[in-house]
A and B are shown apart, each in its own frame.
Chain A
Amino acid sequence: GAVVSQHPSRVICKSGTSVKIECRSLDFQATTMFWYRQFPKQSLMLMATSNEGSKATYEQGVEKDKFLINHASLTLSTLTVTSAHPEDSSFYICSARDQGGVVEQYFGPGTRLTVT
């Protein structure tokens, strides 16, 4: 089956620093990847849609200069949280849609970010 990985699985950083999270599709090509944020005991909030070779489309209320997304290849998208603050601490999950797929998205295991 389709597998999506994320790295790192957990990261702790100091306030003001930047953190990069990678999302990879391991056995398929993904023209579209999605980044979500999940707060404790809450649902997933879509942050942005990432298309290979083009600029990401951000959801309303998501700061594009703070959450930088790069989708440089058909198997890799990165999310960089710039100048992180404690309120950015959250669980970040990516998903990828198979290039040949129609409906289904495959989710990564998530990255837990803690900003101290």
Chain B
Amino acid sequence: GDSVTQMEGPVTLSEEAFLTINCTYTATGYPSLFWYVQYPGEGLQLLLKATKADDKGSNKGFEATYRKETTSFHLEKGSVQVSDSAVYFCALSEMGRGDDKIIFGKGTRLHILP
């Protein structure tokens, strides 16, 4: 079945450091890919998405490129801030199957030190 694998955390970085959170997926079809962010005590917010190969999703300085050849959707940010501290979830959804379940990775907790 479909699955998402992302790097385990926690990831601790200093402010203004470069961030990469790796995410790879397995899917039977052509999924849409997402990154969600969960701030402490809150629900999930969509951070960015990409719906087809080579698409780049971007938001709030974060970006991720849909790489079909490597089945990856790594999240990057050039200069992180303390306010980026949160849990980040990589996810996929295959609408074409007739359902729209979202399959989530286990999440990566990010701590940014001032």
Instruction: With both chains docked as a complex, state the minimum distance between the C-beta of A89 and any C-beta of chain B, in angstroms.
Output: 16
In Å, the complex CA distance between A44 and B46 comes to 14
Assess whether A109 is in contact with B102, with CB atoms less than 8 Å apart: no
Stretch at the interface among A13-21, A61-69, A73-81, A96-104: A96-104
Q: Using Cβ atoms and an 8 Å threshold, which residues of chain A touch B109?
A: 41
Assess whether A46 is in contact with B101, with CB atoms less than 8 Å apart: yes
Instruction: With both chains docked as a complex, state the minimum distance between the C-beta of B24 and any C-beta of chain A, in angstroms.
Output: 15
Assess whether B89 is in contact with A43, with CB atoms less than 8 Å apart: yes
Assess whether B93 is in contact with A103, with CB atoms less than 8 Å apart: yes
Q: Which of B32, B43, B101, B107 contacts A43 (CB under 8 A)? A: B107
The count of A-to-B residue pairs whose CB atoms sit within 8 angstroms is 48
Interface membership of chain A positions 5-45, coded 1 if the CB is closer than 8 angstroms to chain B and 0 otherwise: 01000000000000000000000000010100000011110
Count of residues in B whose CB is under 8 Å from the partner chain? 21
Q: Does B100 contact A (CB under 8 A)?
A: yes
Assess whether A110 is in contact with B43, with CB atoms less than 8 Å apart: yes
Q: Using Cβ atoms and an 8 Å threshold, which residues of chain B touch A107?
A: 36, 43-46
- Known contacts A93-B43, A102-B95; A44/B49 CB under 8 A: no
Q: Using Cβ atoms and an 8 Å threshold, which residues of chain A touch B89?
A: 43-44
Instruction: With both chains docked as a complex, state the minimum distance between the C-beta of B23 and any C-beta of chain A, in angstroms.
Output: 13
Within 8 A of A (CB), among B36-55: 36, 42-46, 49, 51
Q: A108-B43, A110-B43 are in contact. List 8 more A-B contacts (CB 8 A).
A: A6-B43, A42-B106, A44-B104, A49-B101, A103-B32, A103-B95, A107-B46, A109-B43
Chain A residues near B (Cβ < 8 Å): 6, 32, 34, 41-44, 46, 49, 93, 95, 97, 102-110
Question: What are some 30 contacts across the A-B interface (CB < 8 A)?
Answer: A6-B43, A34-B101, A42-B107, A43-B89, A43-B104, A43-B105, A43-B107, A44-B44, A44-B104, A46-B101, A49-B101, A93-B43, A95-B44, A95-B102, A97-B100, A102-B95, A103-B51, A103-B93, A103-B95, A103-B100, A104-B46, A104-B49, A105-B102, A107-B36, A107-B44, A107-B46, A108-B43, A109-B43, A110-B42, A110-B43
